[in-house]
Amino acid sequence: MAPILAPTISLSNGQKMPVLGLGTWRSYESEAEKACKEALDCGYRHIDTAFVYENEAEVGRAVKSKIAEGLIRREDVFVVTKLGGIHHEPKLVLHACQLSLNNLDLGYIDLYLLHFPVGQVYNGDGNVHGSGELSDVDYLDTWKEMEKLVEMGLVRGIGLSNFNSQQIDRVLKNCRIKPLVNQVECHPGFNQKKLIEFCRERDIVVTAYCPLARPKPDLKWPPFIYDATSEAMARKYNKTPAQICLRYLIDIGVVPIPKSISKNRIEENFKVFDFKLSDEDIKIMDQYNTNERMIPFSGMRNHQYFPFNIEF
């Protein structure tokens, strides 16, 4: 029997992106390949990776194996990867894209994101995280080269990640091809509602990484997974607290990409399309927002393009 698939959302260029995907940050080697295969088997058609995750090849192998089995065609799966910080120099952008294309070996990239507005000094492809030395490359110059990748047919669409509202507007005022997506940290504890509305007004979709805020069962944290209110809501809908969180994000217009390497969790995270939260329950979930980031990127705080020094 064919798996149930996620609904899709239309991006501004007409591409259809499934409203839930599999995140792969810190999914390594065989782990990543196995997780992607299991996700595709249960209905995921949106896989998110990045050059710095060092698992693009594994993601590509998983997709190709399911194409070979006849489960999917290449055009059925929406593959996202990202330009790493070490490749912000304009002369390196095409090179970086070709590295990712070679790693994935899927012919093209559905969505290619500029991973962070702050770049790092390039000292070779081997050190994907850079030396720690930050570069002064203007992300607009990087974006102009990313636009060329679309025109060359190497990527279908381009977008941003970890950009604030002022930086998004600066890109929009200086671009030929507008960003389709801004991928940011987003979960009930940091729900990004102002940024979501800002992006919605500009026809940019927000993708949510860390949508469950990396739960810590031993500490019963975060509260929107473990407290009495979340547990009561889960019972009301006959779902788990994690499923309530993912449905909440979908209901407020965000595309969550939960990461897991557990088959049971991968399947659980996908079973969120047979219910919706009531308006009242969305308001209850809103109350978990503290406006506190889990991932502050504090080592870049003094850079001129650091994105988190303003409200959103």
Identify the active-site residue in 28, 44, 53, 209: 53
Q: Does 44 participate in catalysis according to the annotation?
A: no
Map the chain to HEC letters: CCCCCCCEEECCCCCEEECCCEECCCCCHHHHHHHHHHHHHHCCCEEECCHHHCCHHHHHHHHHHHHHHCCCCHHHCEEEEEECHHHCCHHHHHHHHHHHHHHHCCCCEEEEEECCCCCECCCCCCCCCCCCCECCCCHHHHHHHHHHHHHCCCEEEEEEECCCHHHHHHHHHHCCCCCCEEEEECECCECCHHHHHHHHHCCCEEEEECCCCCCEHHHCECHHHHCHHHHHHHHHHCCCHHHHHHHHHHHCCCEECCECCCHHHHHHHHCCCCCCCCHHHHHHHHCCCCCCCCCCCHHHCCCCCCHHHCCC
- The one-letter code for the residue type at 88 is H
- Cβ–Cβ under 8 Å, residues 276 and 253: no
Quote the distance between the C-alpha of residue 107 and its chain's center: 21
- Cβ–Cβ under 8 Å, residues 208 and 21: no
What's the half-sphere exposure (Cβ side, CA atoms, 13 Å) at 312? Answer: 16
Quote the distance between the C-alpha of residue 279 and its chain's center: 26
- CA-to-CA distance for 177 and 156, rounded, in angstroms? 11
> Which active-site residues does the annotation give?
53
